[in-house]
Each structure stands twice: as structure tokens, then as C-alpha cells.
Amino acid sequence: MPPSAERESQLLHAFLELADILVDDYDVAEVLQQLVERCVELLDAAAAGLLLSDQRGGLQMMASSSERARLLELFQLQSNEGPCLEAFRSGEPVTVADLSTEVERWPSFAPEAVREGFRSVHAVPLRLRRQTLGALNLFGSEPGQLDEQDMRVARALADAATIGILQDRAIRRGEVLTEQLQNALNSRITIEQAKGILAHAGGLEMDQAFELLRNHSRRNRARLGELAHQLATGTLHPDELLAARQ
């Protein structure tokens, strides 16, 4: 670990970098990968992994600083036990100074971790108020605990990531529903245009034109909006509907 003043500067740099990424257009997966790599650089950790909920109650491996860490995270998921899962489920940090003593607690995970060369673990939940999104796992190759400051830094980094993830989800959810509304509104306009097209081509009143459109949509199992769009863009000729009248 680098000496104190240099470390302070590196910490500051890491936070600024994270903040910069988060206020701009960002890719969540990239942010999380940055996060785990920074953890290994700045903290007394040999490897780091991150699990994220898939919003249906399951967890997914999202980022890891090394292949060994990745396999260990996957192993936790498969064996349904481990510090990351506990941190996620409880919403509280989980710290173990020596994994070799936790075989009863995690009969599959603990021995596997030790086999992979990891002796200690500190798992931080990704949490905002009552919502826990996942967990960040920091593995050490020696027995022992992270010092107070490192634990605080880990939590701060996890908090920043949590905010970034939630913001990204909120924006995307908003975008999807707003897009749906916009599409519905555009569809409404196209349907009026289609009525006009049929009215002119067939010498109809608007109500009759709409009837024609609706009947054709039912008979051919075509969506009203899609049909209207085809008429409005000339892909479908009004005569095709007018000719099919009984």
C-alpha cells in the first residue's frame, strides 16, 4: 500500500473520477468494474467482486478484479452461501478475519475461498435507505481485518456506486414509459391521418372511415396503429380496405 499523502491523493482522484463518470452519460457495468479495480488499488485487498440484484430477487455477478475473484463470486451464488449473499440479505456489512474458522458458517464457500488463496473477507452492502441492490466483496490473502479507514472508504465507494445504479435505473425506467406514452400519442395522430386518407379515397365520413379501419384491423389481426402507419406512409393503399368492404 502506498504511503499516506500519496494514498490521500489517489483516494481523492478515485472519487473525483467516479463522480465525473456518474454525472455524465455512463455505462453501469463499466462504473462497477472501475469500482472493484479501484478497491484493489487503494485498499488492503487482494481481490474484489460485486454482485447485483436482477430486480427479481436473484443476484448476478457484475464485476470482479480478477478471474479468481470472479469464480469465487459465482461459487457463492451457486452454493447459495457466503459473505456477499449475507451482506445483501441483511443489508449489513459482513467481516471475517480468518475464513479458515468459518467452515460451520459457510461449509462450501469457506474452504473453497481458502483453497483459492483468500483468508479474509469484508462484504459491504450496496444500500440506499431501505433498498439493498447487491454487495461488494473485498478479499484478503492474509488473515486480518481492514482498518477503520479502509472500511469507511469501501463504504463510501459502495454508496457512490449505489446512487449511480439507482439513477441509471430510474432514468431508464422513465425513458421506457415516456417512450411508450410518446408512441401512443404518435399512434393517435397517425390514426387520425389514416381516417382522413380513407375518408377522401372512399368519400366517407370520419366515423365510417374509422369503422373501416377497425374492421380491417380485426379481420386481419393487424394492430390499429400499425395499419394506420402503413396507410399514412403509403405502404398500404386505401383501396385495399375500401375493396374489402361487404
Partner 1 sequence: MSTPGNDDPTVPVGAPRAAMMAALREGKGGLDSVARAGRACVELLPVDGVSILMTSGTEPGEVLFASDEVIDRVESLQFTLGEGPSFEAVGTHRPVLVPDIATDPASAWPVFATEISQLPVGAIFAFPLQSGAIGLGTIDMYRRRPGLLTHDELVIALEIVDVMTQILLGLAGTGRDADIGYVWLEDLPHHHAVVHQATGMLIAGHAVSARTALSRLRAHAFVTGRLIEDVARDITTRRLRIEEIQT
- The least CB distance from residue 176 to partner 1, in Å, is 8
Please answer whether residues 117 and 141 qualify as being in contact, where contact means their C-beta atoms are separated by less than 8 angstroms: yes
Q: Does the protein bind partner 1 through residue 19 (CB under 8 A)?
A: no
Task: Tell whether residue 173 is a contact of partner 1 (CB under 8 A).
Answer: yes
Instruction: Tally Cβ neighbours within 10 Å of residue 151.
Output: 17
Do the Cβ atoms of 191 and 213 come closer than 8 Å? yes
Is 184 a residue that touches partner 1 (CB under 8 A)? Answer: yes
Per CB under 8 A, does 235 bind partner 1? no
Candidates 166, 201, 222, 224: give the one binding partner 1 (CB under 8 A): 201
Residues touching partner 1, count (CB under 8 A): 31
Q: Is residue 178 part of the contact set for partner 1 (CB under 8 A)?
A: yes
The 8-class DSSP code of residue 100 comes to: G
Q: Return d(Cα 189, Cα 195) in angstroms, integer.
A: 10
Q: Which is nearer to partner 1, 89 or 245 (CB)?
A: 245
What are the start-end ranges of the H helices in the chain?
Answer: 4-23, 28-42, 67-79, 83-90, 109-115, 148-202, 206-219, 224-233, 238-243
Is residue 206 part of the contact set for partner 1 (CB under 8 A)?
A: yes
Asked whether 137 and 121 are in contact (CB, 8 A), the reply is yes
Q: Among residues 195 and 216, whose Cβ is nearest to partner 1?
A: 195
Binding flag, residue 188, partner 1 (CB under 8 A): yes
* 181 counts as binding partner 1 under rule CB under 8 A: yes
Binders of partner 1 among residues 80 to 119 (CB under 8 A) are none
> Site for partner 1 (CB under 8 A): which residue of 180, 207, 220, 240?
180
State the Cα–Cα distance between residues 31 and 162, nearest whole angstrom: 11
* 193 touching partner 1, by CB under 8 A: yes
| Site membership for partner 1, residue 232 (CB under 8 A) | yes
- Give the bridge partners for 216, in sequence order: none
Contact call for residue 165 and partner 1 (CB under 8 A): no
Instruction: Please identify, using beta-carbon distances, which residue of 3 and 234 lies nearer to partner 1.
Output: 234
Beta bridge partners of 51: 61, 135
Which residue number, 122 or 195, has a Cβ lying nearer to partner 1?
195
> Minimum CB separation from partner 1 for residue 29, in Å?
19
Q: What is the Cα–Cα distance from 23 to 35, expressed in whole angstroms?
A: 16
Distance CA 25, CA 14 (A): 18
- How is residue 144 annotated by DSSP? S
φ, ψ for residue 55, nearest 5 deg: 70, 10
Query: Which range of residues in 57-65, 74-82, 124-132, 228-236 is near partner 1 by CB under 8 A?
Result: 228-236
Binding site for partner 1 (CB under 8 A): 170-171, 173-175, 177-182, 184-186, 188-189, 192-201, 206, 232-234, 238
